Amino acid sequence: MDFMVLIQVLDSALRLAVPLLFCSLAGLFSERAGIFDIGLEGKILIAAFFSAATASVSGSVWVGLFFGISASMLFSLLHGLASITFRGNQLISGVAINFLAAGITVLIGQSWFKLGGRTPSLSGNARFSEITFPFSDSVSSVPIIGPIYSELLSGHTALAYFAILMVPISWYILFRTRFGLRLRAVGENPAAVDTAGISVVQLRYLAVIICGLLCGLAGAYLATGLAAGFVKDMSAGRGFIALAALIFAKWRPWHVLYATLLFGLLEAISNRFQNIEILGIILPTQLMQALPYILTVIILAGFVGKATPPLAGGVPYIKE
């Protein structure tokens, strides 16, 4: 593998990791507050559809972003209503959201556009454009540094750079602010937080709202940044992969970045190299394409070390 091919693979890995990173950080806020959210997949899907659909109709990607985030936050509040207010089973609520999103996107998409659930192809102002760094063309011929600067670091959308920025922001919010301390305490011992006169319900709703916002960004990037429109089930299990990355990272923001980049790299490798020969054995294309999902199963099966979730995670709080 020459250097330019390596740069291209890493560039693709970064692009593919962005929706996973947004989604994993969404799950981080929700689960740190004690709300397990298996419905990340559904929120990505509904955000991707409404961002692409409204961007197509309005011709503005920013309008699409607004409606994509709004749809995701609505689904997130629905999950909060079921699991916080009505104290329902959080896993069942998440699964229901996934099914609801999968059905609604196809139904509304076919009703609006008559394209089998797809949206029209996006172009121009209906898509996020790439941001080119200053002097990218002039330094591109410089050995090593040029390709890294002009090919790997430059040429991504605003949402991609914002996703990276959200990692230190999330770390600071969770570990250096009073709000973050209270949020983490709610996920560990909500009774103690309640005793201190702080509303457990309010904090958990704030967490699911933040979760909806970040999932909305993931879905919008998927449909209007990474792709040029919405297609049926385009989330393709990214919500579940994001959950696996979150477990792999042990609910820590910086480790979430590394985990999602790893998943992005595996997907980039599977897309770039359909057949790889190892010790004289040619790995089939299907195996290469399944690499991210195989790693997901390995992580969820517990082969990557013990990961202890927040103690009150998944348990509805009942005030005594």
At 18 the pLDDT is 96
In this structure, is residue 320 part of a structural domain? Answer: no
At 220 the pLDDT is 96
Q: Please state whether 231 falls in left (phi above 0), alpha (psi between -120 and 50) or beta.
A: beta
In this structure, is residue 135 part of a structural domain? Answer: no
In this structure, is residue 313 part of a structural domain? Answer: no
Nearest CA-CA partner of 297 in 258, 241, 239: 241
Instruction: State the Cα–Cα distance between residues 4 and 291, nearest whole angstrom.
Output: 23
In this structure, is residue 223 part of a structural domain? Answer: yes
Place of tokens 């050995």: 143
At 294 the pLDDT is 78
Instruction: State the Cα–Cα distance between residues 310 and 185, nearest whole angstrom.
Output: 9
CATH number at residue 188: 1.10.3470
In this structure, is residue 136 part of a structural domain? Answer: no
In this structure, is residue 308 part of a structural domain? Answer: no
Domains held by the chain: number: 1
At 270 the pLDDT is 80
At 187 the pLDDT is 93
**In this structure, what are the phi and psi dihedrals at residue 140, rounded to the nearest 5 degrees?**
-60, -25
Low-confidence spans in the chain with pLDDT less than 70: 1, 274-288, 300-307, 320
Query: What torsion do the CA atoms of 163, 169, 170, 175 make, to the nearest 10 degrees?
Result: 160
The parent domain of residue 8 ranges over 3-127+142-300
In this structure, is residue 258 part of a structural domain? Answer: yes
At 146 the pLDDT is 86
Amino acid identity for residue 251 in this structure:
W
Instruction: State the Cα–Cα distance between residues 21 and 3, nearest whole angstrom.
Output: 26
